Structure 1
């Protein structure tokens, strides 16, 4: 049973990852997610069901459109694999708990928003804002279980705190922080606050640490200049996921440094 939940989550992640490829491509362009159906961007030939099996179809077609033989980006199967692995990791971390659907949704949103922010340096309201309601509804069953009400109230408090913190950063330093990041911060606060205040602190600190490392790396390799605008959403999402998996061990390690045992 312990291995079954991550395995099922991985299969679900493959399917969700296939849909996320559509989201990543169409949402920034304000296109419908339903119509037209999946098609080749080069020749507009419709993608048949057997050609739309996550990862396997790309391998079977050798990375080319079945109709016009134009190359299909390797990013499509990579998004599907990344979503599957992330779903499996989240399921292994949480198990078959009432919170699991909420954090699987967060994982899916993280993949979509990170890719879109890297592509167009924008975190679309069409994804971020509805995710507040979806996240709250998915966490509701866990809150109704009893002790979850404490976590729910902490999540709401952390949501307000992170939103206010990022809002202040965007207000006083508009060149370094966008209001898309502010809206995302509140959503991440809801999820991190549910886990605990240590997760909030670690997830926030990790975002700035990872963002700084990415910025320095790009500067050192000449891929960005001092005035280059860099998306911060991926770092925020990576920091939140790091806190999900490792907030407890990191907090314990840091506590041991501050208060070493005799």
Structure 2
């Protein structure tokens, strides 16, 4: 992979991560993403351009507002860094291929939705629903370029299968998850379906495994009990990203367990 390409992807991720901080804060509050401009949540002072450089500005200001000196959460640069690392990893995974923009978009959505679900235990329709259309449109060039209509059909089937599977879980046990998880499941099915049925299986199983492990860790740390409501969206998104990068090796490993070499 060309170092310049990875560098550009990282820089793009930092910029997108800065915008995601706005999305994470404003979308749950049904606020405009455009107006007003970036400002301090404490004193409402506008953030000047030099104060809005991803990560660098937070470090230069020592994590405090330039006007009122109130602390600025470390979560802001962490969101930017996480997005940058994901953009670099996705670019390394796909290279300059037609599907790269689609999976960069998925990475950005994963960061935003995970943080929002942690904050308010919701997966906003304002992000999830349009992502179905955006995801399909971004994957269309890959379908056309490769004339891979079977993959396109697999995307649609996987989208329907995961949507219906999660819908059944909600109807059987409504306290376990919400309809936001159902809608997210369909979106992840669309993306995982492009990668293959192995990725669909790994992403789905990994979501429940990671969600369960997170619950056990929180209970062991005394941060949650058996009846504590915990967001499941981050586990679903983490499972999908795991499948994105490691579905092939995981499927091969599991297949080796089922069919050991003679």
Q: TM-score of the superposition, structure 1-length normalised?
A: 0.99
Q: How far apart, CA to CA, are the structure 2 residues paired with 1:65 and 1:83?
A: 23
Q: How far apart, CA to CA, are the structure 1 residues paired with 2:126 and 2:137?
A: 17
Q: How far apart, CA to CA, are the structure 1 residues paired with 2:172 and 2:71?
A: 45
TM-superposed deviation, 1:200? 0.2
TM-superposed deviation, 1:201? 0.3
Corresponding position of 2:117: 117
Greater shift, 118-127 or 217-226, is seen at: 217-226
Corresponding position of 2:105: 105
| Structure 1 consecutive aligned stretches of length 4 or more whose deviation exceeds 6 Å | none
Secondary structure of 1:89's match? helix
Corresponding position of 1:93: 93
Residues 154 and 194 of structure 1 are in contact (CA less than 8 Å); yes or no, is this contact kept in structure 2?
A: yes
Q: TM-score of the superposition, structure 2-length normalised?
A: 0.99
Deviation by residue 1:227-251 (Cα, 9 ceiling, x = unmatched) = 1100000000000000000000000
TM-superposed deviation, 1:69? 0.7
Q: How far apart, CA to CA, are the structure 1 residues paired with 2:139 and 2:228?
A: 38
TM-superposed deviation, 1:177? 1.4
Corresponding position of 1:247: 247
Corresponding position of 1:160: 160
TM-superposed deviation, 1:6? 2.1
Q: How far apart, CA to CA, are the structure 2 residues paired with 1:10 and 1:200?
A: 27
Secondary structure of 2:160's match? helix
Secondary structure of 2:146's match? coil
Question: Which 5+ residue runs of structure 1 have no aligned equivalent?
Answer: none
Alignment of 1:42 onto 2:42: yes
Deviation by residue 1:84-104 (Cα, 9 ceiling, x = unmatched) = 001000100111100000000
TM-superposed deviation, 1:5? 2.3
Deviation by residue 1:141-197 (Cα, 9 ceiling, x = unmatched) = 001013432211101100000000000001110000100000000000000000000
1:126-165 mapped onto 2 (5 Å cutoff): 126-165=126-165
Corresponding position of 2:56: 56
Number of residue pairs matched by the alignment: 262
1:61-80 mapped onto 2 (5 Å cutoff): 61-80=61-80
Question: Which 5+ residue runs of structure 2 have no aligned equivalent?
Answer: none
TM-superposed deviation, 1:260? 1.3
TM-superposed deviation, 1:225? 1.1
